Amino acid sequence: MDPFVKFTSQSQGRDRIFRAAQYACSLAVYLLRNNSDRKDLVAKLKSLETSLSAGRKLLRLGNAANSIEAAKRTVQLSDRVLRLCLTVANVSRTLYFICDNVLWAKSVGLIRNIDKERWSLNSFRFYFFSLVMHLSRDVYAVLQVMTKRSRDKNFKERMDQHLTENPEVAEVVVPHLDGFLFLLLETLKSHPDLALDSVKNICDLFIPLDKLGLYQSNGGVIGFCGLISSLIGIVTLTQPRLRIAP
């Protein structure tokens, strides 16, 4: 009970629980959309999804300041690629939160004379760019680990053994490609924090892609991807060792 209390006492923890519930509602609405006997339930789920979305906007007030502080830290990283990717990602996330805060102010009547559609599109643009930079960091980190492991003598022996023991795969797949996939899977297995962050960012990417019209998905895909990324977020928040750093 204590870990749960500690988790829910954090605004980030509450946001991730609400986010998981929001996308679970979205997925359920999609799955029940053609069930005429569940129209009332679908209406309630849609209403709950809207309420959770509005509640999360309130919880995100002040997150822009946190992102600015994160950008100040990442700009001091010694690795140039990480410094670029993470600083740009944090700046983009700051702009996303600012747009999100303005939209919240519009929804509660604090601001009236703004183009809601334009601000919404801008928020998703910044969110999309932030995710792209985070994914770029993930790819860079994966390649770094893969390069290091490929130079390890013991790992080379394991990879050669894998190719020798699976000749039928080598006949179908180019040996170099099979070796690359083996190296990639072994890298992700040995670095679960990197694997989880990559999956989370890929799942999240479907949301702005759909909103910006770059890749149209349905409510089921968005709900499923949002739910998976939210659950990963909850896991990494409760298990710090699974959280990628920096």
Binned at pLDDT 50, 70 and 90, residue 87 comes out as very high
In the prediction, which pLDDT does 2 show? 59
> Which of the four pLDDT bands, split at 50, 70 and 90, describes residue 172?
very low
Q: Which range has the worst mean pLDDT, 8-17, 22-31, 118-127? A: 8-17
User: What one-character DSSP code corresponds to residue 60?
Assistant: T
The reported pLDDT for the residue numbered 140 is 97
CB neighbours of 152 closer than 8 A, spacing ≥ 6?
none
pLDDT above 90 coverage of the chain, percent: 66
pLDDT, average across residues 130-145: 96
Residue 42 has pLDDT above 50, yes or no: yes
pLDDT for 3 beyond 80: no
**Average of per-residue pLDDT across 95-107:** 94
- What is the arithmetic mean of pLDDT over 157-176? 58
Q: How confident is the model at residue 134 (pLDDT cuts 50, 70, 90)?
A: very high
pTM, two decimals, is: 0.88
- Name 227's Cβ contacts closer than 8 Å, sequence gap at least 6: 20, 23, 24, 27
Q: What per-residue confidence (pLDDT) applies to 167?
A: 57
Q: Give residue 151's pLDDT.
A: 78
Residue 11's pLDDT band (cuts 50, 70, 90): confident
Closest by CA to 227, choosing from 195, 209, 200, is: 200
Asked if pLDDT for residue 161 goes beyond 90, the answer is: no
Cα distances from 139 to residues 111, 132, 195, in angstroms, run 40, 10, 10
The pLDDT of residue 204 is: 97
